[in-house]
Structure 1
Amino acid sequence: MIVVTGAAGFIASCLVSRLNAANFNDVVVVDNFSVEKKLPNIRGKKLREYVDRETFFDWLDTNHAQVEFVFHLGARTDTTEMDPAVFDLLNLNYSKRMWQACCKYQLPLVYASSAATYGDGTLGYTDTEEALFPLYRPLNPYGDSKNDFDKWALEQTEKPYFWAGLKFFNVYGPNEYHKGRMASVIMHAFNQIQQTGSMMLFKSHHPDYTDGGQMRDFVYVKDVVEVCYFLLHHRKDSGIYNLGSGEARTFLDLAMNTFNALGRTVDIQFKDTPEDIRDKYQYFTEADMSKLKSIGYDKPFTRLEDGIADYVQNYLVPGMYM
């Protein structure tokens, strides 16, 4: 059996689809299944068992001998949540229990970290300088919770025989319909263009960037789950890895490609970045992907143009799930 936590969420549900496509059908999905808006993400998938996140560790005590691998992708991901106690409970302490359980039962573990750990990026975006991890200053409690767990994991003398933390950059793609404000800018662009025929982007408040010239590392969710699938079989070279495309692109690139995918005339407008986030706004992120490539991952990452076209035309327009 393969355990996937957060399985009704965005990335994890796409991973379940990838596992099913490879004939891994004994998948145990773990989540808070009372959140009904997420349930379509796992409808129709081949699953072994549903386990509530509150009872998972009791379930694991009973069933650990049948578990082959754990993907711990469940987390509170709302970057606007300002209560650290929420993240301590769901992101930090739950992840510690997962780590300790995988040590106890000798289970390989892949867990979700985040590029939010890098803060404003002044120390760069390299995953090879672990000595810098204590120096990172994330911009919100969500980033703090992910960075705190990364640091804790590195400090442990007892570790799973294989483990990997994946610092997700700006992931986009199918199965994020339920995420509301936290959905990718591509989904917001799609909705705005369909409803109004235009797209609104934030103005730049930085002299080095034009309006819409702010840059992010956008990575397609299909590439993310391919890396997870690679690690399922690799099971060596433990550590923390960036997971982005390795190429920063502008929000103008993103918006124009969304218009193109819809066959619509480009109409982009700009508004001031809200003052409450203006001082914490990131103008550039780009994953250094050399560490992942150094352990043998050699698949190319999807170009933004191709990822947006696939996402918009094959999922958003028909309302399909992966």
Structure 2
Amino acid sequence: MILVTGAAGFIGSAVVWSLNQRGITDLILADSFGKTDKWKNLRGLKFTEFVDRGDLFDALETAEWAKDIKAVVHMGACADTTQADVDFLMTWNYEYSRILCEWSLANNARFIYASSAAVYGDGALGFSDKDELTPKLRPLNAYGFSKWLFDMWVLEHKLQDKVAGLRFFNVFGPNEYHKARMASVILHAYPQARDTNKVRLFESHRSDFKHGEQRRDFIHIAEVLTGIKFLLDKPTVNGIFNLGTGTPHTYNQLAENVFKALGKRTNIEYFPMPEDLRNRYQYETCADMTKFYAAGLPKFTDRFGEFVQSYVRDYMDKGGKYLADV
């Protein structure tokens, strides 16, 4: 039995889909739907039971299935990087994670959790996932702080040899459609390129980066699933790991691949970044994958262009939104 939290969200629902593809359906899903469309991510998927995230801890104490849980894939969190309610973030990103981790350890269940590249702040200290660097990191926003705080809790309680954390970089792909403004730039660029033959990108407000040359370590959801599957299959591999590709690409390259997939000429318009984002904006991210590769994860090759174009051609341009659509 595997418990997946955030199970209706982007990465969580992809994990459920991936497990189903392997014939694994003995799953407990935890999440809350609110007024979003993320419930659609679960259509066609097979699982044993769904539990509201607010009722999960009670269920873990009373439900018959709780004793059969062998692994917890904890993807549940508030992932809004602009969320200003720090108490809300502390409740759902820190306290919830801490309680679930303690339950997992007490019940001999594998614990895999979602951290974030947001912990690295402006990247001034680099993007190494070495444990000794973590206390020195300075996240730029409250979301990143909440993720950093849980990483610190793991380290301070010397649990890095007992649990596995994944610092996700810039994930994109099917099942992200409910995320609205928090969805990938690729998702937002596609309708612009399709309908207006133009893609709008932020200007750079730093002299060392030209417009559109801000760089991100974009990672496709299929690559993320490879990392999570590796940890599920290798329960002795523990620690806090980066999960990116190790190869950053620019937003200009992103737009170029969207246009290429549509068979159109590249046409990019740059516009000023909102004032409130300028001091919280990461100009470059690039995962140092040394530690995860040393633990045995097969090395990723650079498939950025292929994945972007496939996302456009095989999903969005055919009206598809979900992994199960192809």
Q: TM-score range by the shorter chain?
A: over 0.9
Aligned twin of 2:184:
184
Identify which range, 258-267 or 32-41, moves more after superposition.
32-41
Percent identity, aligned pairs only? 44
Report the Cα distance in structure 2 between the residues aligned to 1:298 and 1:161, rounded to whole angstroms. Answer: 21
Aligned twin of 1:169:
169
Measure how far apart 1:36 and its partner are: 4.4
Aligned twin of 2:77:
75
Measure how far apart 1:302 and its partner are: 5.2
SS of equivalent to 1:24: coil
Residue by residue, what CA displacement relative to the aligned partner does 1:63-101 show, whole Å, maximum 9, x if unpaired?
A: 332112100001001111111011011100000111110
Aligned twin of 2:128:
126
Whether the 8 Å CA contact 2:19–2:25 is kept in 1: the answer is yes
Aligned twin of 1:93:
95
Residue by residue, what CA displacement relative to the aligned partner does 1:194-247 show, whole Å, maximum 9, x if unpaired?
A: 232210011111111111111110000110011101110101131100000110
Measure how far apart 1:262 and its partner are: 1.4
Measure how far apart 1:161 and its partner are: 7.4
Counterparts of residues 194-273 of structure 1 (less than 5 Å): 194-273=194-273
Aligned twin of 1:53:
53
Measure how far apart 1:160 and its partner are: 9.0
Aligned twin of 1:140:
141
Whether the 8 Å CA contact 2:105–2:111 is kept in 1: the answer is no
Q: Which runs of 4+ in 1 moved over 6 A?
A: none
SS of equivalent to 1:15: helix
Give the alignment's TM-score, normalised by structure 1. Answer: 0.96
Measure how far apart 1:29 and its partner are: 1.0
Amino acid at match of 1:140: N
Report the Cα distance in structure 2 between the residues aligned to 1:238 and 1:190, rounded to whole angstroms. Answer: 38
**Relative to structure 1, is the Cα distance of residues 44 and 56 closer, same or farther in structure 2, using a 3 angstrom cutoff?**
same
Amino acid at match of 2:107: Y
SS of equivalent to 2:222: helix
Question: Which runs of 5 or more structure 1 residues have no equivalent in the other structure?
Answer: none
Number of equivalenced pairs: 320
Whether the 8 Å CA contact 2:8–2:33 is kept in 1: the answer is yes
Amino acid at match of 1:142: Y
**Relative to structure 1, is the Cα distance of residues 202 and 76 closer, same or farther in structure 2, using a 3 angstrom cutoff?**
same
Report the Cα distance in structure 1 between the residues aligned to 2:301 and 2:229, rounded to whole angstroms. Answer: 14
**Relative to structure 1, is the Cα distance of residues 161 and 150 closer, same or farther in structure 2, using a 3 angstrom cutoff?**
closer
SS of equivalent to 1:106: coil
Question: Which runs of 5 or more structure 2 residues have no equivalent in the other structure?
Answer: none
**Relative to structure 1, is the Cα distance of residues 269 and 253 closer, same or farther in structure 2, using a 3 angstrom cutoff?**
same
Give the alignment's TM-score, normalised by structure 2. Answer: 0.95
Report the Cα distance in structure 2 between the residues aligned to 1:160 and 1:100, rounded to whole angstroms. Answer: 13
